[in-house]
Structures are given as C-alpha cells and as structure tokens.
Amino acid sequence: MRYFLDFSYRGTDFHGSQTQPNAITVQQTLEQALATIMRSSIPLTFAGRTDAGVHARQMVTHFDWTEQLPANLVHRLNSLLPDSIAVRSIQPVTNEAHARFDAIARTYRYYITSAKQPFATLIRTRVAPGLDFEAMNQAAQLLLGRQDFASFCRLHTDVKTTICTVTEAYWTVENDTDAYFTITADRFLRNMVRAVVGTLFEVGRHQLTLSQFAEVIQAQNRTAAGHSADAKGLFLEQITYPETIFINNKKS
C-alpha cells in the first residue's frame, strides 16, 4: 500500500530537502528514522525540493509498504527525529497517488522584518524599513495567470518548461515592522519564489517601476530579475491534493 507522510521542518539545520552526497538533508534524516523503526530501507518521494535554509510548514512524501504499519508510527518517528523535523500524519492513498505529480497547488510564504529580533533571525529576513508595500502588491498582481517565469528560474536547470500558473500573489503587512508575501501556483521553478521576492524588493525600494517589473517577466531571462532573497525567510506553507486520492480519510 502507498502512504502519504505529512511533516514539517526547520530548514536551517539542513542542506536542502533532498538527499545529496556529503551533506545532511531532510530526506536522509527522515529515511534513516523510518529504516530504524521499519527495519528496512524505504525510499521516499518528496512533493518537491527546497534549498538549504528553506523551511516547510507542510511537506509531503510518499512511500510503499506491503505489511501493516507499526503501531504509533508517528509518535515513534517523532521520538527519533531531531527537533527540526516533526511528522504530523501518515495517511493511506491510492496505489497510483504521487506526492509530487498529484499536487494541484503549492503555497509559499516569505517572512520579513525591519526590526532587530533575536528570536526571529532563523525564520525572517531582516530588511531596511520603508518598503512601499502598495507598489509591491501592484507588481505582484502582474504575476497572476499562466505565463513563462524563466526570469525567476535558476539557470542551467533541466526543467522541460518554465510556464507556471500563479493563482495568488500578495503582501500582508502584520504590523509596523513585520510582513509576509504569499504566492500560490500549480508548480514552482527552482529558486523562483526567492527571485520573485528579491525583485519585488526592488519595486518596494522604488528601484524598479511597475512597467519595468512587467518587462522583467516578459524578458524570460534570469539576468533581468533582481537578486534572490535570503533563504531563511521562505516557507513552503501548504500543498493541496485532490480528495479522491486519499483512502477512508484515516491518519495513523
């Protein structure tokens, strides 16, 4: 049977989500904990990848297991895993369900602060005060719809297409010092959100006009966009799936 494992992690402690040589990653850590309990190597397929330092309030991975799952598996995994990873649920799905390809939407948020906050340094990016959020929200509206986001894609990746459909993109001002950017799409390119945020910063500092931001999108060239924003402010917030792939809606 196939299972979806729903979990969250603090990316500060890892060199990205997916396994890579000579580096501690989320996938490696989670697979080791599963192997210890299940007494078998169990490969995990993630819904996507996050770069070093990026966090996930929700990440989903799937795995196959032919026998009955051990009792209290979620609790046992959390007992083995470091504080930076927390498993929330394990849910049976149809045998064809795929954590990556069946996701119909993903939502990211990017958190910033203009204040010196010792306890927020791991999860918010500090920026200079005075950003023009009204202009940034006007620019963010230009991201909506189905279009080519090559200007915000890391160079030399092996993706077949750089076309994505963005359904929401906006800034929320929390108080005098804190704010966050929300963006939802059917798919995201490598480094896309951080490149978008970095370019929106330029709009907020009045270094780019709205028409120039539109030209950045139309250029379909990474060199046209701004620098990527720091990883630590970025969270994968939510992944949405069709209800039809879940079995009995039961969680372990």
Of the residues 6, 13, 51, 178, only one is catalytic, namely 51
What are residue 11's phi and psi, to 5 degrees? -70, -10
How far apart CA 82 and CA 70 sit, in angstroms, is 20
Q: Answer yes or no: 51 catalytic.
A: yes
Burial label for 64, CB within 10 Å (0-12, 13-18, 19+), is exposed
Give residues with Cβ within 8 angstroms of 46, minimum separation 6: 17, 18, 27, 59, 60, 61, 99, 100
Residue that is written with structure tokens 């203009």 in the block: 114
Are 86 and 74 in contact, with CB atoms under 8 Å apart?
Answer: no
The catalytic residue positions are 51
